[in-house]
Every structure is written in structure tokens, then in C-alpha cells.
Structure 1
Amino acid sequence: MAGTLEATTQAINSYVPTDAYFGKPFIDADEMRTDPLPHRYVHGGFENSDTRFAIYFPEKDVYRGRFFQPLGGGLGGTEFAFVGPLAGVLGGVPGAFRLGGYMLESNQGHIGNDLDQRAGDDPGLYGWRASAESARFAKHLAKHHYGEVPHHGYVYGGSGGARRSPLCLENAPDIYDGALPFMGGGPIAPGKADEAIESVQPTGFGAMFNVRRLLRDKLANVIDATEPGGSGNPFEGLNAHEREALADLYRLGFPRGAEYMIAQPMGQAAMWCWNAAEFARQDPGYTPDFWSKPGYAGHDQPHLFEGDRIVRFKTGVDQPRTAADIAAEVHAGGPAAMEASSFMAIMSPPDRQIAIRLAEQPSGYLPGASVRILSGEAAGRQLFVTGVFGDTLLLDGFGADGNAKAEGVRPGDQVEVDNDAYLAYCYWHRHHVIDGEKGFDQVIVDGSPMFPQRPRITVPSPFGGHYSAQFKGKLLYMQHTHDTSLWPDQAILYAEGVARYGMPENFRLQWVENAEHIPPAFLPPSIVPSPTSRLIDYSGIIEQGLADLVAWVERGIAPPDSAYSYTGGKLTLPAAASKRGGIQPVVSASIEEAARAEVAVGAEFTISAMAEVPAGQGTIVAVEWDFDGTGRFLAAEESVDGTAASGSYERRHSYDKPGTYFVTVRVTAHRQGDVSTPYLRIPNLARVRVVVTGAAA
């Protein structure tokens, strides 16, 4: 199947990069593979650049003339994001083949967290140009491989990949006909795609950090109030400053119903604590001013930081720890299972050092603190505490430091722990109001900010430049309602930009309800109730979205919009499927028409559920029940056969032990009503609370 060496050489020699930044393409791997299906694998890059690509050409009986280019999340930096642990979740190579296309990935212009040294800080290169040039060469190679160029191309991605995929569609209309970002966003300024951007999301992370630090054990009451059957008042029991901090977080757009993630290492704030140091680099006066000048909480209210502040604490390293060490503790249910992010352990090679145990523990608040290595092989590296379990600190960083993590750190190496910049970052939203962004009304009076304002701060250049919201192709935007990394307002900003600058008829926004940033299987297993009982696996929704995007671009069948309202930082979706739209089933559950019930041990009660699939979006193929919040759906409605688009369901149940239980009903739809296929399944869920009292007989 693979082309001959002569044909490949001819393809390389005949290619002239459109973007003059890139040198001649090269191929360092070209081989036949059989997994998941027979295909030709090609890996290479462009001379005089750090851009690398990987291409997967299926056999001709699978290929139907199109290509799919997923963009990795975060900062990018790898051409293998969709063939690693997340491949099964986000479709990967098999998903592209099922949709009749070849797949290619690029590292989006840089290797790991390092920037291309020749390009430096170039948002345009990392945001879209490297991806576009990789796609152009892949199309050129596809012509030599299949005998003709693909007739359509699609770019998509989540998180940082969603941030950049609209940039590709907007700026490379010669390559891309459609884009599907899921969980993305950013500011809009036509004509500035190559300029670094401000972003509200890192500001929101600081507010989230602050709530986590201030509330601590009180978070349990906030979570209880916002769970199904709770009081609905998350402010009960908080003091004035705690209430203000939580209110700030909500007004900035934090998704309601996701409060349980605030204290988790994968509550996403922990993933981005290096923002504190990066922003301090851009505004070096902010941290000292925060602690020394009127108008800043550090100076005006020092009591708020008593017992938390750590200033240049020096100690030694007792023991470095690897990803395998952390994963073993998570698996065994040890201390790591309570606070360490299993996601980092899963995504890192087993022998990679990602944590350290200190010889002495500083007295203060460790999450988010800076850990600078002072001696040894890793001297000069700056890392940050993303998780604390026992006496072990889970570490990550930015750029080359983030690539290395704790590699090379040895017992006895000296480190310095400090959280001054981190604590100041917790109040960043007061002092860096961003024009045009939602959520800052609480600090603006009569058009002016209440607090001293600081210079403009931009996010790292690999996130790309400004959107224009102008494109020739089609863009289907999917945003998750419970995403604690990229909050709902980010998609709304893009939708508003399209309405103002672009062609709304070429844009659709669909909400994915009860979906987090990453699938529940990658969240800490210590969360109770289980993430799998709270959240859906959205992989089938993304693949169906890609299929719908193809149908829209190639056959003119437009996908449905989702209806919504957004006020005071709160997203609200209509309760009825006929009014909500989108493609997910709408699900509700109750016990005697209430979200909460109190029952005695051994007493049977009836749980009712209703579900409806929006018109034209298929039928119900599964209804499953989880009665104890473990995420194990052990009961299913056997009568569901894929013929009905709506239904009412009941279950009788009882508990033999007292306690508080959350019952989840998960309903899955499929466009063709196929009850057996594992693909293109569209889930949603609903939950109720059951308080069981009395003693077991």
C-alpha cells in the first residue's frame, strides 16, 4: 500500500511550502501498520523548524476523500496526542477511519512545552500556521498516495486544541472546510491573529484557587448545597470574605453544579498554578505591591493569609517519586488516592519523576506553591505544587521545566518553597479587569474598576492569537456545561463575535450537558459520589459532531443549535428537549416529584425518570441506573429497543444501611437507534438524593 521510496522522494522534492517560515519537508518514518486497521504511517517535519507531523493513510476501501486533523490540548507540543491514552476517548485514528478520512496531527510548531527557538513568542505560528502547513503537505502526500487530493478537510480539538482550531479555519481557508472546537474560547479582534491575547480564564483560575484556599473544609457544605436535593444556598455558614470570594467565582462564570471539583487536583486550577509565576514575570511589580500597598488584600487584610504564607522556605529533598509510585498509591487507595491527580500519573511515563518528598515540611499552604530547585543537576528549575498527599508534593511547570518535572532531582538537593506570588494570584481578577470580557461587573462601579489596575497580561503564545470570528467554512462549536477549565462564557463570547463580525448561518453552538473538561474515567477516583455517576463520557458526542459537520459541509444538512440563557455568570438550558435543541437527550429524575427523599432502612420507594431526544436526533438505546453513586450502572431497562425517542421509566429500590445516596439514571441516544454499537452514542443523565434513616434490621 505504501508508496515506493521513489514516489515518496518525488513528493518531498516537489513540495514548496506556502508559508516561507518552513523549510523543506522531511520524512523519518514511512511504514505499513495493521493496528487499528491496515494503514500507512508517515512521520516527519520541516527543516529549520521544530514542527513535526504524523499522518495515517487508511486503505482505499476505507478512505472516502477527506481528512481529519485533531489538535492536541493544553499548549500543544506533541504530534501524538490522539494516539496515546486519550485516543479511545477522542476517537483518534480509528475515529477518522470510521468517518472515511485519513488523520494527521502536528505538534503545532513546538516540541513539548518548549518554544521553537528561531520563532520565539509567535502566537500565529503555534496558533495555526504550523498546523496549516502540516495539513498542506499531508494533502500533497495524499495526492501521491491516493492519486488525488482530498476534497474536504476538517480540524478539531478540545481545550487548547479548541482554542486553536477556529484559528485554523479562520486563517487557512485553502486547507479547512470545517472546524469543531469543543471546550475552547478567547478574545476576538479581527486582523490580530498573530498577536498575543489576554484571557479571562487564567483570571478565573485565580478566583477558583482563592475559594479553595479560603473555604477548605467548608467546601463540603457548598457542595452539599449545590448537589441534587441540596438547600440551593452555597453561601450558608460562610463569613463575609468567604461569601465574597465564592460570589466572585460565580460571577466570573464558574459552572454551577461543578463545585465538587474546586478542591480536586483535576479541578483544573491545580493544572495552571504556574500562571502565578508567568504573570509575575510579565508584571513583576504586582506581587510586591500586593503585599505592601493600599488597595491590595495582602496589605490591607493580612489576617486573611495568617498561617498560609510561605516565604522562601529552604529545605532538602528526601526522595524523588515517579509516576509509577503515584499510580500505585492511587490504585492501592493510599494517601495519593485522596488528593493526587491520577491523570498526571497516567499521562507520564512510569519512570518519570513527577513528585518529591521533602526533608522538612514548611508551615503554610502548599497547593500552588513554587518549588525552585537550588542545587544538583536540576538547579534553576522552577516547579509548582499541583497536588499534596501526605509528605509528597506532585510537581509540574511551564516550558522546559514542565517537560522535565522532577527529572534529575536527587536526595539531598536543596529547594526553596514560596507561595507569595500564588497567594497574590488568588486576587488577580480584582486588578486585571479585561475589557469586553464577561464577569468583571462586581469590581466595576460607574465604568471604573474599584481596585488598582495593573498592565495588560497575555497568555503563553502556544495558545495562539486573537480570533476574527470570520470564516468561509462551517464551524460547529461544542461547549461543556460542567467544564471547570474552560467555563461556558468562552463559547458565548465566540458566538457573539460571529454574530457581530461573521456569518451566523455558518455557525452552530451546541451545549454538552453534564460534561467536564476531561472524561470522568480520568478524574480522581476519590471523588464521592464517583465522577462516572456525575458526568458523561462525551466521546460519542464529539464523533457524532464530526459526522454532522461533514454532512453540513458536504451535503448542506445543518446541525441544530442549542438554546440557552446566560445571566450573572450562570448558564441556563431549557428544561424541554423541544425548546433546548442540540443533540443530547434531556433527562429528569425524581422521587414523588422531588429531588430529595427521606426513607427508612429497608423501605421500598419509587424513582421516576423521563427522557426525550430532540426531534430528528435519533432514539433512546439505553437507560441505566446507578443506585449508590459508585459509577457502576448495574441495572438497565430491558424494554428499551431503540425505537422510541422519549420515555418514562420507574424503578423500585431500597437500602439496607443508613446514609445519603445519590441515584443516577443515564440515558443514551443514537441517531440510527442502534442498541449494540459502541460508537456515536449520545448520553445524558439526571440524579436524585436519597437520605436513608434508621437502623438495619
Structure 2
Amino acid sequence: MALQSMTWVGFEVSSGFTGAAPECVAVTPDGPLQITADCVDPMYDTPIIANETDETLPLPHHRVSGYFNGTTTDFNIYLPLQENWDGRFFHQVYPLQNSTAEDVSIAFGIDSSGYTVRVAGDLGYRADAATAKFSKEVAREYYGDPDRQIYGYVYGGSGGSFQTIGAMENTDGVWDGAVALIQAIPMSSPNNWCIRALAGLTLDSKSDQIIDAVRAGGSGDPFAGLEEHEGVALEEATALGVPLNAWEDFDGVARNRTELYNTIRTMVIPNVKSAFPTYADDFWTKEGFLGMEESELGQFFRDSLVEYNATVEEVQLGEDDVPVGIKLDNVPEVSPDELEFTILSEGEEVGSFIGLVNKEDGSVYIYSDNNATILANLAEGVQLLADNRWYLAVHTWHRHQVPALEAGYYGYDYLRTDNGQPTYPQYDTLLAPSISRAASGGGTHTGNITGKVIIMDNLGDFDAFPWHADWYKSQVQSALGDRFKDSYRLYYNQHANHYMGTVPQSLQSVIVDFTGLFEQSLRDVSAWVEGNIDPPKQTQYTVENGQVIVPPTASKRRGIQPIVNLTVDGGNRTEVQIGDTVTFSIQAEVPPGTGKVVSVEWDFEGKGGFVEIDIGKPSKKVKTQVSHTYDTAGTFIPTVRVASHRDGDTETLFARLLNLGRVRVIVSESSTGP
């Protein structure tokens, strides 16, 4: 069944929906636009259907593609066959996504009796809200049921959590529920990047011993053996929220595998420079800033500072004659790989750019996101000042951005004196909330949600710190009062971090794919809205020194994730010789009312190569032993991966909830007698 060609201005559409509708308005002049089911957003008032196709993959569905006239926003609506639809839709949001939904998202929607909505990434919630409302009209016409009530559920992670919360606080009647994943809050960006960067730069030389300490079977004390300045940096990062267990993935926390360096260069430095152009000078010349601090950490930063003059000997041009590389007359041995280069003309600064230095031949690769107008000044003989002043300075930007005490961001109390005042000099304006407001569409995380919301956060998340979700929980409690319990849930998960989607094999013995966890939360919020079925109880936890701590047992922890306890020789590590048989004991259990364990998989070498074993019928608790013989020497992290499912379904690919158990086995060469 094809739809008629439709445009939507108010509710006047060619398919017969009529009636004037008011424009959506903001409550305050500078506040976010309040979107209701009965108002029209003046920016997104004319949706155009551009194409319709019947698709067979991943499952049969009807795809409706379109855009909003006069905007760059486009969308896709994926409608399942009528017999596979039960009056709901699922709508993922993220600022940088395109409008093509992944096969797994479309298939999950169909498996959950819903259609799928996807809108090209944009800041805020307004384009998504307009598309969500339009999708209901499209669905009613397609299914031939103009009076059908349709329930909608919006969800998104990280930057998408900004949009999800913005949507649920500033719309009414558009979506009925939401799942916000790996939650960001108004103090998250850019501060979290700086907190990680400070610790990562300072601890880099001790990465191996820190990894070993926090890994399964390690000492559990990553502070042991650190020098004074290293301990200060790790203590600060821990108190501000970086999970201690996350440091096992040191490359993820503090190196560029997760784009930390690139984000510092392309997002943090430009934003701080624009808002506070004197910050780097303050850092290196004023009391109260680390660059002037009489401490081991201050000395470490001064020793890391590099500044030198160089002359351009050669310029390499790319497309449109924009410089893509240069060669310098000298590069000191101490030069870092990445530096800021300031172009000088008769001693005056013309502008700056960032480049990657090759110390062997003096060449500099110029990043393509530099300003082409500034690069046009590069020529043979031009004088440059190379330095890392700004790069180092922003590592402590968070110290000078402490929020007001009454705002409740308790993790930042680490950066206060005993009388509640900030320890370090402060700037008048907080940068992070302005970034949050832009991403969430002007929202301010008031907690005043208009539908049912489930928050899913991960205990190993080094991008969105776990205690931040607890802060937002307090916002919702304050805003809703007695309505809180009937509107909000917070679930924490083990062995998961910020990584959304299929986990690379190299990390599968460390973290789980949490897709199934949020799929179940989407189904739970749907049942909560449509059937008044309460979701499982929230995760029980405490927050200690910036760390979220959960109980060890399923009955006390609650939440929805299965709990796994793996031991070897009664503990978390053992030492054996080649050829010895090692026996592992596992106990896995689901929290009350959350289903059954449906699979147990083993990876005895900890390399992500899992093999499933037979556990018989699905059950609420699994207790078993397995044995393995190692034929090579080395240190291994045997891992067991457990999956549970709400209905005990062993065949489905959807809503499988994963967790890991891990121990350490040290295998040495066999001893030989005389």
C-alpha cells in the first residue's frame, strides 16, 4: 500500500487531515520550544514524502523517506507488515547520525511489534519531534486506521541522551516514554575529556602496572607504586568519576583509540579558546593554576612544555592550493608529535594551526580541519612558533569550572575547600552547560519529565561517568515528588562502558555489548506505558568517592542484568604449570522477576573466542564447574559470558542481557627434575 504524496502544514495535508493548529511556543523568551501533540513547530512545518519502497531485508517492511521543506533534515520511517504491528514505534536519536536506520534497529522494532523512525542527526529534539508526530499520520494512513492511538518511545546514548532528556522535558504527547543510555549531563562536556586527559598524560608511563592492578586477579590497588604527582592525578580522576575498573582499558580511557587526543584538539581547545582566550596565559603565569603550582604535578607539566621557533623550508599544496604539509628547518628531539604552530609576521601573530610532526625529516602533516585562510599565509621562509601550551593547559580546565554548590554536582566537591569554596581560581561562566543546552535543544536537565523514563548507565563508562546518572535521578525526584516511582527507573550494568554496538573481538573478554540491555529497557518502558506493568526494581547502589558501588548478589543489587560469580581454586586467581588441569566454578543468577539464564559461554584464554556449553533448560540460577588444561605458558584472563532473557527464549537475537565473570590464571613452564 503506497501513501498519497503528502505535505504537512499544521494539520492540513493532502491526504485529508484538516484543522488549524497553533505554533509551538517557549515558556520563556530564551527557553526551549515546548512541543505538544497539537502545535506545529514553525521550523519543521512542511514534511515532504520523497520516496516509498517495499523492502525485504532485514524483514519485510515499507520504507517511507522524506524531508522537511526548507531544512537539511531528512527522515526514514520503517513500517512492518500490518500483522507485525501493534500500535507503537521506536525512535533512536543522536546528533551525528544519518537518517538510515541499521538493520538491527529495524528488525528489533518489527520483533517488538513497532515501526522504526530515524531522523538525520541534528542538535536538540525539534526535528525528531516533528518527525515523530508526522510518522503517526503516515502510519495511520498506511495501516488504514485513522483513529488509532500510537505510542512512541525515544532513546539515545551519550550525545543522544542529551536529546532524549531534552525531548522528555520539553515535549508532551509526542513520545510516551524514553530510554536514555550512558547519560551525559550539563557538566559532562568538555570537562570529562579534560579529567581523563590529565590522568592519562600523567599516568602514561605507569599504564602497564595500573592495568595489571585493576584487571581480574590483580592487586585491586592501582595507586600502589605511583609517584606523588601520579597518585594526585589518579585520585582526582577517581573522585571526579572515572571508574577505577575502566583503567584496564588504558588505551580507551586515556589514548586516541577513543578519539581523546582528537577531541582535545578539535573540540576542547577551540571552545575554551573562543570563550576564554586568556586561559593558556593564565595557566602558565598565574598563581592557582597548575602551570605555576609548586608541586610535583606542576613540575611534571612544566617539564612537558615545549616551545621552539622554526622556519618553513617547503610547502606542500593540496586541493584548491590549500597547504596540507610543510617542512621545517629544525625539529628538536624533545618535540611532541602534535603541536600548535603560530604563524609570525614581523613578530606579530597571524594565526595558528595544528600539525603532526615527523621528527625524522622535519615534515609536518597539517590536519584538514584547520582554517584555510590562515594556512594561506604559509610560504617558504615564514617564521613559526611551535608549542603545546594550549594542549597542556586544557588538561586542567575542569579545575576552573566548578559548579555552584547548590546545583548538587557532588562529585565536584573534591575540588572545593572545607568551607565549600572552589580550591582553584574560577571563571565567571561555566562552558559545559552551554554545550549541553545546545545538544539538548535548549534544555537544562530540570528533571521535569513528561513521560516514563528509564536510564541505563554502565559502571565501566569513562566517557559518561556513572555518578552523573545518580545526579539526574535526584533532579527527577525533586521535580516529580510523589510521581517519581511511577515515572523513572535507573539501571546500572557491570562490564560495559561507553561502547555502543557490536564489541570488537579484542575487547569482548573485557566488556559486553549492551544492545540487549537497552532493547529490554525499551520493551519494559513500552509495557509500563501501555499495560501499566511496573519495570523491575532499580539497581541498588551507593556512591563512594565518586565511584558507584553495587552489591554482589542479584537479590540485593536488583536491576535487570544477570549477576556472574566466577572463581578458580576458590578465588580470583591461581598459578599452575603447563599441563595442569584447572577447574572453574561459576554461579550466575538473574535479579528477581527478570527472566532466566539462557546461555553460558567460555573463553579460557581471554581473547574473545567464546564457546557455548550446554546448561540444560533456562533457569533463574545456574551453578556449574568446567575444567581446562593450558598447553602454553603465560598469563590468561579466562572469561565466562552469561546471557539472560526475560522470557527464557534461547533462540532470539533480541533483548539478550549479557554479563561477564573473569579470573586470572598464571601458567608457568613445567619444572624438570634432575
TM-score range, shorter chain: 0.7 to 0.9
**Maintained 8 Å contact 1:173/1:472:** yes
Task: Please say if residues 11 and 141 of structure 1, whose CA atoms lie closer than 8 Å, have aligned partners that are also in contact.
Answer: no
Structure 2 alignment gaps of length 5 or more? 24-39, 319-323, 345-349
Matched, 1:263 2:244: no
Q: Which residue of 2 aligns with 1:247?
A: 235
Query: Matches of residues 288-687 of structure 1 in structure 2 within 5 Å?
Result: 288-300=281-293, 303-306=299-302, 308-311=304-307, 366=336, 401=369, 418-435=387-404, 436-445=408-417, 446-459=419-432, 460=435, 461-464=437-440, 465-502=443-480, 503-505=483-485, 506-519=487-500, 521=502, 530-560=506-536, 561-634=538-611, 636-638=612-614, 640-687=615-662
Give the partner amino acid of 2:181: F
Instruction: Trace 1:156-195 onto structure 2 (pairs within 5 A).
Output: 156-187=155-186
1:534 partner SS = coil
Please state if 1:209 is matched with 2:197: yes
The structural deviation recorded for 1:185 is 3.0
Q: Deviations over 1:537-578 (max 9, x none)?
A: 111111111111111110111111111111111111111101
Residues 12 and 45 (structure 1 numbering): CA distance in 2 closer, same or farther, change over 3 Å? farther
In 1, Cα distance between equivalents of 2:316 and 2:494: 43
Cα distance change on mapping 1:237 and 1:319 into 2, 3 Å: farther
2: CA distance between counterparts of 1:395 and 1:617?
Answer: 53
Letter aligned with residue 529 of structure 2: V
Q: CA deviation at 1:66?
A: 1.1
| Matched residue SS, 2:508 | helix
Q: What is the aligned counterpart of 2:66 among 26, 31, 44?
A: 44
Structure 1 residue 372, shift from structure 2 partner? 8.8
Counterpart Cα distance in 2 of 1:372 and 1:632:
49
Residue aligned with 1:541, SS: helix
CA distance in 1, matches of 2:660, 2:379: 48
Q: What does the per-residue CA deviation read over 1:47-72, in whole Å, with 9 as the maximum and x for residues that have no partner?
A: 33333322222222222111111002
Shift of residue 619, structure 1, vs aligned partner: 1.3
Structure with larger RCO (C-alpha < 8 A, sep 6+):
1
Classify the secondary structure of the residue corresponding to 1:153. strand
Would the aligned equivalents of 1:286 and 1:454 in 2 still touch at CA under 8 Å? no
Flag the 1:358–1:42 CA change in 2: closer, same or farther, 3 A: farther
Task: Mark the CA change 1:685 to 1:10 in structure 2 (over 3 Å): closer, same or farther.
Answer: same
Q: CA, structure 1 residues 579+276, in 2 after alignment: closer, same or farther (shift >3 Å)?
A: same
Deviation at 1:617, TM superposition (A): 1.4
Aligned amino acid, residue 295 of structure 1: G
Contact 2:458–2:492 under 8 Å retained in 1? yes
Partner of 1:145: 142
Structure 1 residues 61, 417: CA separation in 2 closer, same or farther (over 3 Å shift)? farther
> Does the 8 A contact of 1:587 with 1:686 survive in 2?
yes
Residue among 210, 214, 219 paired with 1:226: 214
Distance in 2 (alpha carbons) for counterparts of 1:403 and 1:61: 54
Counterpart of 1:154 in structure 2 is 153
Tell me the residue number matched to 1:344: none
Quote the offset at 1:520 in angstroms: 7.7
TM-score (norm 2): 0.82
Question: Separation in 2 of the partners of 1:100 and 1:371?
Answer: 56
Structure 1 position 146, deviation (Å): 2.3
CA distance, structure 2, for counterparts of residue 300 and residue 258 of structure 1: 29
Matched residue SS, 2:560: coil
Residue type of the partner of 2:89? F
- Matched with 2:28 is none
Match of 1:331 in 2: none
| Cα pair 2:574 2:664 within 8 Å, conserved | yes
Secondary structure at 1:559 match in 2: coil
Shift of 1:279: 1.7
Quote the Cα distance in structure 1 between the aligned partners of 2:272 and 2:477: 32
- State the number of aligned residues: 612
SS of the counterpart of 1:467? Answer: coil
Q: Which amino acid aligns with 2:231?
A: R
Distance 1:131 1:240, change over 3 A: same
Aligned: 1:58 with 2:51 = no
Match of 1:30 in 2: 52
Residues 310 and 362, structure 1, Cα contact 8 Å, conserved in 2: no
Partner Cα separation in structure 1 for residue 170 and residue 331 of structure 2: 50
Separation in 1 of the partners of 2:287 and 2:647? Answer: 63
Instruction: Kindly state the Cα deviation for residue 220 of structure 1 after the two structures are TM-superposed.
Output: 1.2
Paired AA for residue 498 in structure 1: V
Q: CA 1:220–1:6 in structure 2 vs 1: closer, same or farther (change >3 Å)?
A: closer
- What is the SS of the residue equivalent to 1:258? helix
CA contact (8 A) 2:4 2:15 kept: no
Supply the distance in 1 between the matched residues of 2:526 and 2:607 (Cα, whole angstroms). Answer: 37
Matched residue, 1:192:
none
If the length of structure 1 is used for normalisation, what is the TM-score? 0.79
Please list the CA deviations of residues 296-327 of structure 1 after superposition, one character each: whole Å capped at 9, or x if unmatched: 11133563235533448776999999xxxxxx
Summarize deviations over 1:450-507 as a string: whole Å, max 9, x none.
Answer: 2111122334354223112122321111111111111101211111111111231210
Q: For residues 361 and 105 of structure 1, do their structure 2 counterparts lie closer, same or farther at Cα, with a shift above 3 Å needed?
A: farther
Computed over aligned residues only, the root mean square deviation of the Cα atoms, in angstroms, reads 3.8
Distance in 2 separating the partners of 1:520 and 1:37 = 20
Deviations 1:620-642 (A, max 9, x none): 111111111111013x322x133
Aligned 8 A contact 2:155 2:179 in 1: yes
What is the alpha-carbon distance in structure 1 between the residues aligned to residue 472 and residue 111 of structure 2? 30
1:5 deviates by: 3.6
**Structure 2 CA distance for aligned equivalents of residues 578 and 403 of structure 1:** 57
- Which of 104, 109, 114 is residue 117 of structure 2 equivalent to? 104
Measured against aligned partners, the alpha-carbon deviations of 1:215-272 in whole angstroms (never above 9, x if no partner) come to 2120111111111221122112221111111100000011121102323423463453
Is 1:277 matched up with 2:270?
Answer: yes
**Does the C-alpha gap of structure 1 residues 137 and 682 become closer, same or farther in structure 2, counting only changes over 3 Å?**
same
Contact 1:152 1:177 in 2 (8 A): yes
**Structure-1 separation of matches of 2:244 and 2:181:** 19
Write the distance in 2 (CA, Å) between the matches of 1:277 and 1:46.
32
Q: Given residue 669 of structure 2, which amino acid in structure 1 is its aligned partner? A: G
The equivalences for 1:85-124 within 5 A come to 87=102, 91-109=104-122
Contact persistence 1:267–1:484 (CA under 8 A): no
CA–CA separation in structure 2 for the residues paired with 1:373 and 1:2: 60
Tell me which amino acid in the other structure corresponds to 1:281: S
- The worse-fitting range, judged by mean Cα deviation, of 512-521 and 428-437 is 512-521
Partner of 2:654, secondary structure, is coil
Give the whole-Å Cα distance in 2 for the aligned partners of 1:499 and 1:608: 41
CA distance 1:473–1:13, shift in 2 (3 Å): closer
Which entry has the higher C-alpha Rg, 1 or 2?
A: 2
Q: 2:83 aligns to what SS in structure 1?
A: coil
Q: Distance in 2 between matches of 1:316 and 1:152?
A: 65
Distance verdict in 2 for CA 1:447–1:605, change over 3 Å: same
